[in-house]
């Protein structure tokens, strides 16, 4: 039969295990992918947060985080003969693997205007 002390010890151990499980679940890396397209294609995409060159459109960009479920991004699109365009969007980090995120990207499409 269980004593009051043994039940208390069991409850404490169970609580510690539950807390560890919650902490482990919270620290899982989650992924989100955005497919950035431009009209016309072939625009350079620059992340304005750190001025990094992300690539040329059409482009898949992957974001990942251990502690956020959304990420705000601001990018600039540049193409010779067209007005530079800045756009912001939210990336939903909802996938447990990069592969799953790549298979279901969020879409961002920007139409560039010709310079006059």
The closest of 85, 80, 81, 83 to 36, measured between CA atoms, is 85
Pairing type for strands 52-56 and 44-47 reads antiparallel
This prediction has a pTM of 0.73
The closest of 97, 54, 93 to 70, measured between CA atoms, is 93
* Mean pLDDT, the chain, whole residue set: 87
First to last CA, the chain: 87
Residue 6 lies in a domain: no
Q: In whole angstroms, what is the distance from residue 26 CA to residue 67 CA?
A: 7
Q: State the total domains in the chain.
A: 1
Q: By the 8 A CB rule, do 29 and 66 touch?
A: yes
Q: Which residues are bridge partners to 76 per DSSP?
A: 46, 86
For Cα atoms 37, 64, 77, give the angle at the middle one, nearest 5 degrees.
Answer: 25
> Which CATH number fits the domain that encloses residue 73?
2.60.40
For 37-84, write each residue's pLDDT tens digit.
999 999 999 999 999 999 999 999 999 999 888 999 999 999 999 999
Residue 12 lies in a domain: no
Q: In whole angstroms, what is the distance from residue 45 CA to residue 39 CA?
A: 13
Domain span at 96 = 29-111
């Amino acid at each position: 039969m269980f004593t009051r002390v043994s039940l208390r010890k069991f409850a404490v151990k169970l609580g510690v295990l539950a807390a560890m499980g919650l902490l482990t679940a919270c620290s899982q890396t989650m992924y989100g992918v955005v497919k950035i397209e431009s009209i016309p294609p072939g625009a350079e995409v620059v992340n304005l947060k750190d001025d990094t060159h992300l690539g040329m459109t059409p482009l898949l960009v992957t974001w990942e985080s251990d502690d956020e479920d959304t990420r705000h991004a601001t990018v600039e699109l540049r193409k010779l003969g067209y007005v530079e365009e800045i756009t912001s969007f939210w990336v939903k980090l909802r996938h447990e693997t990069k592969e799953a995120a790549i298979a279901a990207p969020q879409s961002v499409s920007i139409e560039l205007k010709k310079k006059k």
